[in-house]
Amino acid sequence: MGGDLEPSRLLFAYRNGIFPWYSEGEPILWWSPNPRMVLFPREMKISRSLRKTLRRGRLRVTHDRCFSTVMRECAAPRMNHRARERDAGTWITGEMLNAYTRLHELGYAHSVECWTGENLVGGLYGVAIGRTFFGESMFSRVRDASKVALVELCRQDYELIDCQVPSEHLMRLGAKGIPRDAFLTLLSECIPSEASP
């Protein structure tokens, strides 16, 4: 696809099942994996422990309260508890932060936040077009916080959540891989030709 991360290019890409994914210092790379990892909100699997977390209600959930902060938290190095070391960080570059913040200002990019008191402890962000939410990243500082954010996202009016690439974490929550052609057909059904936020 080439080019930059201007809003019109990003929206065109998402409408066509393509997303940017690259590291700092690399040219912008565009992806359309096959198979494509998706989650149908009605098929989300909620474990007993997650149900317990939801019932306790210790996490307060908000929408779009601090979009850029959620992106920065998703970009921060994370503790790899198995290796007992910090990961180097993520693919969320400063250029991406600026581009998605612009999409947020235009009403296309959204965040879900989880709080304990006034402390942001988890969340996710992505792009919404029509009845599709294209999930970009999530983070969790306390147990189940990103899962609670995902449950909240599934309660919204989306038919399809694009999870992009396989991950064990998302598969345990009900996400599955589908052929790219099937994904593109779903997009055409869930995104009107000129969908606005």
Give the DSSP letter string of the chain.
Answer: --S---HHHHHHHHHTT-EE---TTSPP-EE--SSEEEE-GGG----HHHHHHHHHT-SEEEESSSHHHHHHHHHS--EETTTTEE----S--HHHHHHHHHHHHTT-EEEEEEEETTEEEEEEEEEEETTEEEEEEEEESSTTHHHHHHHHHHTSS-SEEEEES--HHHHHTT-EEE-HHHHHHHHHHHS-TT---
Q: Is residue 195 part of a domain?
A: no
Assess if residue 2 is contained within a domain: no
Give domain status of residue 137, yes or no: yes
Is residue 12, in this structure, part of any structural domain at all? no
Give pLDDT, residue 79: 53
Residue 197 lies in a domain: no
pTM for the full predicted model: 0.91
pLDDT tens digit string along 124-170?
999 999 999 999 999 999 999 999 999 999 999 999 999 999 889 89
What CATH number is given to the structural domain containing 169?
A: 3.40.630.70
Residue 24 pLDDT: 79
Q: Which domain holds residue 141?
A: 34-190
So what's the pLDDT on residue 27? 86
Q: Is residue 116 part of a domain?
A: yes
Q: What is the pLDDT of residue 197?
A: 61
Q: What is the pLDDT of residue 78?
A: 66
Query: Is 3 part of any domain?
Result: no
> Which residues of the chain carry a pLDDT beneath 50?
81-86, 88
In a domain, residue 14? The reply is no
What is the number of domains present in the chain?
1
